[in-house]
């Protein structure tokens, strides 16, 4: 069989000609030959298997950059990559399902204050913040208490007071007296107000340099965790042996990854990898992500600044969280890993375990 026209190849692979042209531009699925006179793309029959794999992975919702990585792997490694991707999708879907269930109950007038779990649970936590090996001061603010877990990563001339102000404002919230049905609205409004306050302080300062902070925090209601997130600090969940990132970075590079315009490997060294598209007190979008997170006994949560996540591999973080018994030990080991990798930034960690009350 000779070469196939793009139309014939599109029908056989179940990919549109428009998609094939895009995949050619990205280097994901280049044609076997391009006619020098007409510019028509021609494909070899043996390319159909890879094209069908690309089509199936797109139906799964996998970003193009990740598909490109899968297609470069052997069958065993590709299967492992697809399994890992789908585990993340299931974790994200479970979080959205929990929020949808909560909203349905709330709109139908069911009592949202009734805990969804029978056993009384509480959180056991530890926090550690360090300036790292390079920075002269620590602009991070990290906090862990019986009602609040928080990490804020300040930047610019007013970064330290901005991160401290953000966490301090959340300490004033009382999730135990706020109706669960109102909690997300109260939390979102509080963060928007924090952003306005920080903006006012920066504008009144003597330095022309912009300042602001990220903010990633969880409020404990007694049966759920209310999550608020803006910026590139992160929350990871260790559940049933798997580690899942349950926040989405608000950065230029993450947006490029979502679009499939760069690969994860390119993102690691991209010059704009720390540029935020959402933050508090900066000239960017200040709208936070908020949601309720149902918990299980045995869950372990990690909140961290990018001083950890940007320099320590996810596998190493997983190893520490899986093999340390107490949160105090976990935060010490995680900070040591960041400093052992050069400690180029301030590093802050909060580790919290969901345990039975009284244990």
Q: How far is CA 150 from the centre of its chain?
A: 15
pLDDT at 112: 47
pLDDT digits (tens, 9 = 90+) for 135-148: 999 999 999 999 99
User: How far is Cα 73 from Cα 260, in angstroms, rounded to an integer?
Assistant: 18
Q: Could you tell me the two tokens for 310? A: 């940007």
Residue identified by tokens 């929020």 is 99
Encode pLDDT of 270-322 as tens digits: 877 778 989 998 767 888 999 888 899 999 999 999 999 999 999 999 999 99
The 10s digit of each residue's pLDDT in 48-69 is: 999 989 888 988 888 888 888 8
pTM comes to: 0.69
Whether the Cβ atoms of residue 121 and residue 223 lie closer than 8 Å to each other: yes
Q: State the Cα–Cα distance between residues 293 and 223, nearest whole angstrom.
A: 9
Determine contact, residues 291/100, Cβ cutoff 8 Å. no
- Among 87, 82, 91, residue whose Cα is nearest residue 62: 82
Confidence band (pLDDT; 50, 70, 90) for 30? very high
Question: Residue 38 contacts by C-beta under 8 Å, 6 or more apart in sequence?
Answer: none
Residue % of the chain over a pLDDT of 90: 47
């Amino acid at each position: 069989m000779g070469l196939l026209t793009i139309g014939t190849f599109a029908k056989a692979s179940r990919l549109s000609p428009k998609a094939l042209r895009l995949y050619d531009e990205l280097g994901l699925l280049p044609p076997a030959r391009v006619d020098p006179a007409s510019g028509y793309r021609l494909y070899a029959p043996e390319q159909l298997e890879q094209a069908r794999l690309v089509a199936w992975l797109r139906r799964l919702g996998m970003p193009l950059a990740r598909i490109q990585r899968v297609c470069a792997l052997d069958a065993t490694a590709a299967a492992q990559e697809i399994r890992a991707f789908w585990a993340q999708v299931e974790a994200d879907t479970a979080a959205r399902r929990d929020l949808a269930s909560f909203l349905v109950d709330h709109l139908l007038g069911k009592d949202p204050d009734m805990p969804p779990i029978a056993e009384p649970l509480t959180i056991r936590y530890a926090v550690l913040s360090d300036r790292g090996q390079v920075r002269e001061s620590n602009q991070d603010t990290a906090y862990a208490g019986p009602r609040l877990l928080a990490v804020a990563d300040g930047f610019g001339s007013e970064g330290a007071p901005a991160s401290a102000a953000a966490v301090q404002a959340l300490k004033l919230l009382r999730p135990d007296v706020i109706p669960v049905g109102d909690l997300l609205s109260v939390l979102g409004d509080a963060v928007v107000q924090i952003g306005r306050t920080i903006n006012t302080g920066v504008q009144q300062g003597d330095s022309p340099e912009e300042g602001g902070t990220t903010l990633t925090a969880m409020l404990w209601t007694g049966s759920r965790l209310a999550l608020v997130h803006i910026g590139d600090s992160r929350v990871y969940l260790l559940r049933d042996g798997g580690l899942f990132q349950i926040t989405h970075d608000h950065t230029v590079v993450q947006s490029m990854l979502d679009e499939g315009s760069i690969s994860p490997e390119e993102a690691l060294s991209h010059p704009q990898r720390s540029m935020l598209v959402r933050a508090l007190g900066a000239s960017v979008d200040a709208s936070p992500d908020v949601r309720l997170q149902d918990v299980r006994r045995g869950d372990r949560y990690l909140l961290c600044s990018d001083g950890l996540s940007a320099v320590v591999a996810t596998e190493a973080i997983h190893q520490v969280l899986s093999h340390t018994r107490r949160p105090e030990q976990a935060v010490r080991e995680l900070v040591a890993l960041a400093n052992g990798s050069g400690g180029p930034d301030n590093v802050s960690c909060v580790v919290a375990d969901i345990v039975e009350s009284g244990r």
